Structure 1
């Protein structure tokens, strides 16, 4: 089965390739000499339709397409808090350092820093039985967020080894003996497909209010903790400002702000003011418990569509740690536009 094909024709961000006989819907591919990131969206006979997450200008028919065989995944671990990611979980701070204010296509960086060491403190000991979702230990990620390192999904067994100390996210911190006798190492970082919901044991009833910090909302339009709400309205009616206020003042533990297809100036306003805001709950900076997914309107539609899935996956990860997470998406109408564009 082939994992490499060629470009047959190009129509904007939509690329038709042939020769990818092992392709599956959702596979991530590298397109052309610059290895632009794309995704398989349709298979018709020998032709495979790809949506490119980056600008396709300069691509030519006949260039190679390499199928990774893997879906788009989120990398989860210490180093997420305080970051500004694009829809593919690339740090826009690091991309700025590499390419300047205008991000050039073809650049690939790891979502989490490989050089930084984190102090890991175990919560369990050798001989304890653990199963998926159990907390192995903690890392003090910021002054207000304790990052809880979880047993990965699908892993259950007895702790053979666990250590306290300074570790990079790729260093093994523990070893689990599986029921079949094999041992598996656990690291601080794990990956998860963004379009696959993370599993849960039970759905907790929605019976507590989310205090947004906006008295008119809390009084007349209360929102349940664990529920959802939408703010419909015309252009310039204050939807984005209201969402920003909820992100700043709600009583959530973690705030994930997803700018999906928003105007660049609006997203820039959020990213400028958040690092300067004092958190009324902790007295620290609000950025110390926030994550941003910034995918503005001038970026490709495929990356815009992926940004919401990326933010939700990160939110589910912190939910699994026991935190209350507020996910702010601005805007879902532009996300719906992206979905319609991708559906053909």
Structure 2
């Protein structure tokens, strides 16, 4: 085991000498307090170590000891409903040992060692197994069943396997390999900076349905896709991530609070257990893993938290689950990179961020995707990543936002002006985009309606026309517009207020099925087409704008799912009658 001594301490960066036998990314224990650190640079026998705990009081000459293993996470039963810090230390267990304030050098196992889990084998003695094969299951919560998989690099024949109650460290099976017998436990370890392997990556052809109209209709994300949510303070990044965590069609949610305010993380920790999972009626925490790394925690652990979270997410993806990972926010993670880079005296890039910012972001986001996992079964799992970005002052021309946009294919640009108008979700339809539309458009046409893409394009065109007309209205007023343009402005107001605006606190409006979204598009556009035709035949613009049916179209979003078709037919019939009545009598 490589041992050295501290030469220099600079905040979270410790330089130790006498570490020639250590390797890059080895986890080390620093000083007699055994603080956790990781080697991030080697120069001869000098190792630069980022320490994941407070370094106050450390001095030259204190001992540093390498564990000769990279930073890894423990994967097994007990992950779900857990709340971890950035390096997978369970915060509830630390509190029992050290009290309410996080103390240095606390060593607590990531998965509880005393808990016993009921292991149900699905293979027999003599069966041939390889990496990724499922040998049994453990019912972790009412919602999640963990599949116990053969760890990476093991291939052979099952020598023994026994059902029963086991802790995560007890042997449940023995596999006979050419290198000797290998004991299989409920738990396996994986280094966080290395993506978990899979058999094949699939192209994105299915949407991740979220029930949020502005997302599903205008800027959809694919299952296994990546999205960025940049926005200034108070524009609703966290609210959108909560909505997606609750309603997106994902089996498992991994939420990473990376460098966020303590009170914001407290809200998440308090709200998630109380949120009812719409699929099961039980607590959302029964399919959630939380990683809390607040802004006052050591900055180096912030850098690790992103990798810890995505490795846990990949583990569930390998079981064949659809996983949604929320990272809030990658800007704080990039700030941690910048601080460590500055202390290492590296050549700074734009705005002081390290030159490798873009490649590190790419390494993180590229671990998303829909894959066929290792093993004979060929399970299909998906990992979708939604990363919030907090640009200073809301300026998305800064390096983190720009580097992120070069990688992700969905951009939900939040707008504080919309948020201040009480328009939620505050996604700006003029600046946002989704590059998945062409790939997943066929799925919408086959599973919802052949008209889906056509209607979506018409909505977008009207909203873009409105932005141009808005400029004229600001200069010369609404009365200067022609009657068709006034009608267009009214129709787009209906699109904004009745379709894009969604109330996350309303029991019906909080989630909209794809079929209901389709009918809502048909209604808001149906009004525009009917009224436009009537206008060209001489109907009164004032009467068309004042039609009572417009209020019913606006209230359609509050219609229960089982009544939407009948209510849609009623409104359509009434619309035709009222538009026909919008002609002045002298016209006939």
Residue from 218, 226, 235 that aligns with 1:220: 218
Alpha-carbon offset, residue 341 of structure 1: 2.3
Q: Distance in 2 between matches of 1:121 and 1:160?
A: 17
Point out the structure with the larger helix share.
Answer: 2
Give the 3-state SS of the residue equivalent to 2:270 in structure 1.
helix
- 1:249-268 alignment runs, 5 A limit: 249-268=247-266
1:295 corresponds to 2:293: yes
Aligned counterpart, 1:73: 72
Q: Distance in 2 between matches of 1:38 and 1:324?
A: 33
1:269 corresponds to 2:267: yes
Give the 3-state SS of the residue equivalent to 1:8 in structure 2.
strand
Q: Distance in 2 between matches of 1:95 and 1:249?
A: 32
Higher radius of gyration, 1 or 2: 2
Render the CA deviation track for 1:284-324: whole Å, top value 9, x for unaligned.
11100000010111111210000000000000000000100
Alpha-carbon offset, residue 181 of structure 1: 6.3
Aligned counterpart, 1:11: 10
Alpha-carbon offset, residue 152 of structure 1: 0.5
Give the 3-state SS of the residue equivalent to 2:240 in structure 1.
helix
Point out the structure with the larger strand share.
Answer: 1
Render the CA deviation track for 1:247-303: whole Å, top value 9, x for unaligned.
122110000000001111111101101101111001111100000010111111210
Q: Extract unaligned runs of 5+ from structure 1.
A: none
Q: Distance in 2 between matches of 1:140 and 1:122?
A: 12
**Residues 20 and 44 in structure 2, CA contact (< 8 A), matched pair in contact too:** no
Render the CA deviation track for 1:20-42: whole Å, top value 9, x for unaligned.
12121101110011010011111
Give the 3-state SS of the residue equivalent to 2:260 in structure 1.
coil
1:114 corresponds to 2:121: no
TM-score, normalised on structure 1?
0.97
Q: Extract unaligned runs of 5+ from structure 2.
A: 343-588
**Residues 246 and 278 in structure 2, CA contact (< 8 A), matched pair in contact too:** no
Render the CA deviation track for 1:160-209: whole Å, top value 9, x for unaligned.
1111111111111111111x262111111000000011100000221111
Gap change, CA 1:181 and 1:268, over 3 Å in 2? closer
Q: Distance in 1 between matches of 2:118 and 2:64?
A: 41
**Residues 134 and 149 in structure 2, CA contact (< 8 A), matched pair in contact too:** yes
Count of paired positions: 342
Cα RMSD, aligned residues only: 1.1
Q: Distance in 2 between matches of 1:198 and 1:173?
A: 23
Alpha-carbon offset, residue 43 of structure 1: 1.3
Q: Distance in 2 between matches of 1:338 and 1:292?
A: 20
Aligned counterpart, 1:304: 302
Aligned counterpart, 1:245: 243
- 1:51-130 alignment runs, 5 A limit: 51-130=50-129
Give the 3-state SS of the residue equivalent to 1:338 in structure 2.
helix
Aligned counterpart, 2:323: 325
Render the CA deviation track for 1:87-108: whole Å, top value 9, x for unaligned.
1100001111122221111101
Residue from 193, 196, 212 that aligns with 1:195: 193
Give the 3-state SS of the residue equivalent to 1:209 in structure 2.
coil
Moved more, 39-48 or 299-308: 39-48
**Residues 195 and 311 in structure 2, CA contact (< 8 A), matched pair in contact too:** yes
Gap change, CA 1:205 and 1:3, over 3 Å in 2? same
Give the 3-state SS of the residue equivalent to 1:166 in structure 2.
strand
